[in-house]
Amino acid sequence: MATVFSGVQPSGDYHLGNYLGAFKNWVAVQHENEAFFCVVDLHALTLDIDPSELRERTLDLAVTLLAVGLDPEVVTLFVQSHVPEHPRLAWLLECTATVGELNRMVQFKEKSSGRETVRAGLYTYPVLMAADVLLYQADQVPVGDDQRQHLELMRDLAVRFNNRYGRTFTVPEAVVPKVAARVMDLQQPGRKMSKSIDSPLGTVGLLDAPKDIERKVRRAVTDTDGRVRYDPEAKPGVSNLLELLSAATGVSVEEAAARYDGYGDLKRDVAEALISLLAPIRQRTAELRADLGEVERILTAGADRAHKVASVTYERAAKAVGLFS
Ligand code: AMP
Ligand code: TRP
């Protein structure tokens, strides 16, 4: 049995990219592994977020993760700030990472570009992420393709720490899905799908009404070639639709491509598949939102379990670097 860890920021507006790139794969591995899933509220502080919104979104992300099918009987679902070892280990790892390494992080460059002021926490973000995972001695980290570089850094930090201070951490690996590792925006298939405020028509929200899903898929940008073929380079829009169909129904992209002569039929089936995929999530979300007390109880129990594991690793790391205790 492997140990699995992953996290997601409570940024609101969860979309198909989050679901197919990450959440769905968390649900798929939860029964065969020891799994920890974390609402990373400390990471959310790296960008401007209203305090009351952060509080609300933290609980609502837990609702979403339960609604997509995480089973609190088998996984440890918790909030990052409830386990104080996360920022404590992050400091030890900040003193392991180098400025040169952090300067190379593409997500930092993207998120900081064009801003007048950039929070120092945005810069050290990947180090806190490394602490998240290393505290649980995780073997596998299921994430979307955009997190690969952070995972490489995490591995480098674990190896360096182990070499310098003696074996302390398991060196984790990224597990990226074969299809839909990078779900693209329906309007701009050259960029990844992200929060709906950036691109309302290009993003399918997990809670979108069927008629909105239908409309967004119908309006998805394709090309003028007219042939249904999987070729992400030459035909990014059509290939994205094929990946969505594949991820939602389980047929391969090539098999899916062979079924269609034109874009109209393909879009109709993609919309239908996404509507059935998301319907149970919408319903479950509504049920859970009506019983937030239960969700809070799940998070409290999760934090207790997480803390037990995290404190053992933290104490070991603190002792290894020579902190007096
Ligand atoms: P975030 O919302 O950025 O915290 O991402 C949460 C998880 O969703 C991470 O594992 C990401 O890699 C994944 N993810 C986010 N956007 C996409 C996308 N467009 N396609 C695939 N996976 C994604
Ligand atoms: N950086 C991740 C994202 O934006 C979220 C995250 C924080 C995470 N800590 C993590 C993912 C630990 C996996 C493991 O998607």
Render pLDDT for 261-314 as a digit per residue (tens, 0 to 9).
999 999 999 999 999 999 999 999 999 999 999 999 999 999 999 999 999 999
C-beta of 17 in contact with ligand 1 (< 6 A): yes
Rounded distance from Cα 142 to ligand 2 centre (Å):
10
Give catalytic status of residue 195 as yes or no. yes
Give the start-to-end residue ranges of the domains of the chain.
Answer: 3-180+292-321, 200-286
Match domain 200-286 to its CATH number in 3.90.25.10, 1.25.40.10, 1.10.240.10, 3.30.950.10. 1.10.240.10
Burial class from Cβ neighbours inside 10 Å (0-12, 13-18, 19+) for residue 272 reads: middle
Mean model confidence pLDDT for the chain: 97
Q: Which of 111, 211, 216, 319 is catalytic?
A: 111
Judged by its nearest atom, the ligand closest to the C-alpha of residue 38 is: 2
pLDDT given at position 198 = 82
Q: How many Å apart are CA 14 and CA 61, to the nearest integer?
A: 8
The two structure tokens encoding residue 17? 């990219």
pLDDT in tens, 147-200: 999 999 999 999 999 999 999 999 999 999 998 999 999 999 999 999 888 889
pLDDT given at position 197 = 80
Give the chain's radius of gyration (CA, Å). 20
Q: Which of 24, 178, 192, 319 is catalytic?
A: 192
Q: b/e for 206-230, b at 16 or more Cβ within 10 A? A: bbbeeeebbebbeebbbeeeeebeb
Taking 90 as the threshold, does the pLDDT of residue 208 lie above it? yes
Q: How many Å apart are CA 86 and CA 270, to the nearest integer?
A: 41
* Cα 51 from chain centre: 22
Confidence of residue 325 (pLDDT cuts 50, 70, 90): confident
pLDDT given at position 96 = 98
C-beta of 275 in contact with ligand 2 (< 6 A): no
Give the residue among 129, 159, 151 at the shortest CA–CA distance from 40.
129
The model's pTM: 0.96
Give the residue among 40, 26, 16 at the shortest CA–CA distance from 275.
16
CATH class of 3-180+292-321: alpha beta
Sheet of 75-79: strand order equals: 75-79, 34-39, 3-8, 140-142, 173-175
Confidence of residue 38 (pLDDT cuts 50, 70, 90): very high
Give the residue among 171, 141, 108, 164 at the shortest CA–CA distance from 37.
141
Q: What is the mean pLDDT of residues 10-19?
A: 95
C-beta of 6 in contact with ligand 2 (< 6 A): yes
Q: Which of 195, 211, 267, 319 is catalytic?
A: 195
Question: In whole angstroms, how far apart are CA 212 and each of 107, 109, 206?
Answer: 30, 33, 11
Taking 90 as the threshold, does the pLDDT of residue 140 lie above it? yes
pLDDT given at position 225 = 94
For the packed helices 263-289 and 236-249, what is the interaxial angle rounded to 10 degrees? 50
Q: What is the mean pLDDT of residues 65-80?
A: 98
